[in-house]
Amino acid sequence: MNHRDSKFQVSYVMRDFTNNSVYEFLNRIEQFIDSSSIVNLSQLELSFSALRDMSAVSGGALSEQMKQELSTKRSFILIKNTGNECFWWSMVLLLNYGHDTFKKLSDQRYPKQLKKRALELCTACGANHEEKVRLDQIDGIVNTIRNKNQIKFDLVILDGDALPHFGCTGDISRSIKHRTYNNADIYFYILFDEGHFSPILDIKQFLNVRAFCPKCMCTFHHLEGFEKHDCQRCVEITDRTPKKISLVELKRDTSPLSRTTS
């Protein structure tokens, strides 16, 4: 056997990137070299690719590490009210994101205006703001908001129990708790965790990826991969007959949305 022509490929999944994990990896590489029969180590070429584990967070809630990361994200607002209005607060913030009033509305130290807007929106949708919003109500709520505000959008609810680790790439459709299918170009995202709704202002920044396709719910680290991916191979998570989906170029909509008052 000619060791000079030998090639080795080693896969090692790192579930975290702590000092201990990196030290363990280097130790295993050293053990492999010491136990090998390679005569000339100068001919050994190592190729190392670090793959972050894509397993979902278990336990019915976000891990403490992910909660700490969420607290520093500008793309996400953790709703802190103790009542059942969190869904309406989230929708008001999403609908007014980009408005001059957004900064004031998003300051939860002074929630008077946010509460007022949320109550108006809830009333316009024929709901009771003292009751929790059920997932089976969301389609009707979205349709009412669309009709009253002349806004065509889809809403995606992500499940905190199945959220992938930030920075991972791939299909995150298993993280969807509920979504609407209105074939819209505007998508709003809300995180549902421990019975609470909170708005996601920028899905790419939230997931810590370069590109995201809302049609097939795939994330990408490289724009080239996003531009070349084929959405026609993707199937919607719905009981309808799967249909072909054309690639949508994601551009942030900077035009102001209608206010949520009735």
pLDDT in tens, 157-211: 999 888 887 888 888 888 999 999 988 889 999 999 888 999 999 999 999 898 9
- The contacts of residue 48 (CB under 8 Å, 6+ apart) are none
Asked if residue 1 has pLDDT above 50, the reply is: no
Can you tell me the distance from the alpha carbon of 250 to that of 204, in angstroms, rounded to the nearest whole number?
11
pLDDT at res. 248: 31
Can you tell me the distance from the alpha carbon of 249 to that of 5, in angstroms, rounded to the nearest whole number?
45
Residues 34 and 74 in one domain: no
Band the pLDDT of 23: cuts 50, 70, 90: low
pLDDT at res. 11: 57
Residues 68 and 185 in one domain: yes
Residues 17 and 107 in one domain: no
Residue 169 within any structural domain of the chain? yes
Residue 178 within any structural domain of the chain? yes
The Cα-based distances of 210 to 79, 161, 230 in angstroms read 26, 23, 17
Q: Which domain holds residue 107?
A: 64-233
Residues 100 and 46 in one domain: no
Dump the DSSP string for 205-232. Answer: HHHT-SEEETTTTEEESSHHHHHH--GG
The two tokens of residue 58 are 């278990």
Residues 100 and 29 in one domain: no
Residues 13 and 48 in one domain: yes
Residue 203 within any structural domain of the chain? yes
Can you tell me the distance from the alpha carbon of 213 to that of 245, in angstroms, rounded to the nearest whole number?
11
Residue 242 within any structural domain of the chain? no
**Contact assessment for residue 137 and residue 161, using Cβ atoms and an 8 Å cutoff:** no
Residue 112 within any structural domain of the chain? yes
Residue 252 within any structural domain of the chain? no
**Contact assessment for residue 250 and residue 214, using Cβ atoms and an 8 Å cutoff:** yes
pTM for the structure as a whole: 0.66
- Average pLDDT taken over every residue of the chain: 75
Residues 20 and 120 in one domain: no
Encode pLDDT of 95-119 as tens digits: 999 889 999 999 999 999 999 999 9
What are phi and psi for residue 188, nearest 5 degrees?
-110, 145
Residue 251 within any structural domain of the chain? no
Can you tell me the distance from the alpha carbon of 260 to that of 236, in angstroms, rounded to the nearest whole number?
29
Residue 247 within any structural domain of the chain? no
Asked if residue 17 has pLDDT above 60, the reply is: no
Residues 36 and 159 in one domain: no
Residues 192 and 119 in one domain: yes
Residues 71 and 167 in one domain: yes
Residue type for position 73: K
pLDDT at res. 221: 85
